Structure 1
């Protein structure tokens, strides 16, 4: 069985203390051209299939009665942020991204849809480690913290990200949330240890499976949600 030839063209590359970040264009012989983001040679996301990013945002937003102020941990190619901004209840979105190069590519049009997304007056972009940003956030200032820096604790983009699935980070997120506020973390596979840690910090947490169709493949991803109870 013959397969279509696919050409890859590098669009941009950056090196940091975390390693290599590459943006490349995927040009199949038959089919649409798309952008693909890779970190240290590992596929992170592309512009061809964005169902998981959108599902993450929509499911998290549905868990909050009034998500006026939202933190998105991880800019990526902007699709989670885009879905958050599509909710008319959202008044401000702080996007925390550790890679300056990725922010630059979105701002300068290297990622073609980037400038329009970042032009939304509700958006502010902070170049920082999301753990540091939340630790420094004003207490009780957000309604939703949505974490999308990996595909969950079992699929880390960088080994140092393991800390954001542990109690100290989860506590910082809880402190940054208002009463009724929600922390939502995406995972590509069941993560019982994460659920246990979230339950210990917040008092209660739940995992929800979401069926997503990815290029004709049925996949189940997980959203872990914890809420700040009144009196917490």
Structure 2
């Protein structure tokens, strides 16, 4: 077995693995919903999916012709599902660093996974989205949606912190076509992120969303940065 396949354990319908990026668990809860945890930290579930969908729908609303979309972070596929529901979208590149999460989706451990993964518009790339954006050849995307962690204040993986800093955001901007938008999801208000995005993008916006998380009221945030049609590069 390679390092991404070690220590795979399965109890009943639950699946867990330890990879180079830490522990990943897909758990079947008593309420009938699936829950994804990374390194013991709640990431998302199938009960409250409005923020994952809002990441897509709000970004799609900001663009008149979003043909080409990049999603950083596969999660349980709800952002991807919302993007694919927009008939204007021609291609979706999903960048996910954890290969076993991709395998679980393809295998149907998340019920809608196989249909999403087999959509002809979808391209899956198992890689670090920061590297993919840095190495992107030109302004390839109308929308870049980043949902790789819980936001800059609640990191599951410390290495993801760099994605919320100016160099990585500038890479995201360069990968975005003029008139396009980069949207970053955060589990908490992040004024420092908004400030940095203001230095990188021509226009920025912070949007809050109330959610019910397992019976507890929470507020999640979307941070949007737009690239001017008149100035597509830094």
Match of 2:82 in 1: 83
Match of 1:3 in 2: none
Match of 1:198 in 2: 197
Partners of 1:195 and 1:224 within 8 A in 2: yes
Match of 1:23 in 2: 26
Partners of 1:22 and 1:39 within 8 A in 2: yes
The yes-or-no answer on 1:231 pairing with 2:231 is yes
In the TM superposition, what are the counterparts of 1:1-232 in structure 2 within 5 Å?
9=12, 11-28=14-31, 33-215=32-214, 217-229=216-228, 230-232=230-232
Report the alpha carbon displacement of residue 214 of structure 1 after superposing the two structures with TM: 4.0
The alpha-carbon distance between structure 1 residues 214 and 36, as it changes in their structure 2 partners (threshold 3 A), is: closer
Structure 1: how far apart are the matches of 2:136 and 2:60? 21
Structure 1: how far apart are the matches of 2:39 and 2:211? 26
Aligned residues: 221
Report the alpha carbon displacement of residue 204 of structure 1 after superposing the two structures with TM: 2.8
Structure 2: how far apart are the matches of 1:181 and 1:22? 35
Q: Find the residue that maps to 1:172 and give its secondary structure.
A: helix
Question: More displaced, 43-52 or 167-176?
Answer: 43-52
Partners of 1:134 and 1:172 within 8 A in 2: yes
Q: RMSD in angstroms over aligned alpha carbons?
A: 1.6
Structure 1: how far apart are the matches of 2:90 and 2:208? 28
Structure 2: how far apart are the matches of 1:60 and 1:203? 16
TM-score with structure 2 setting the length:
0.89
Unaligned runs of 5+ in 2: 1-10
Unaligned runs of 5+ in 1: 1-7
Structure 1: how far apart are the matches of 2:19 and 2:34? 21
TM-score with structure 1 setting the length:
0.90
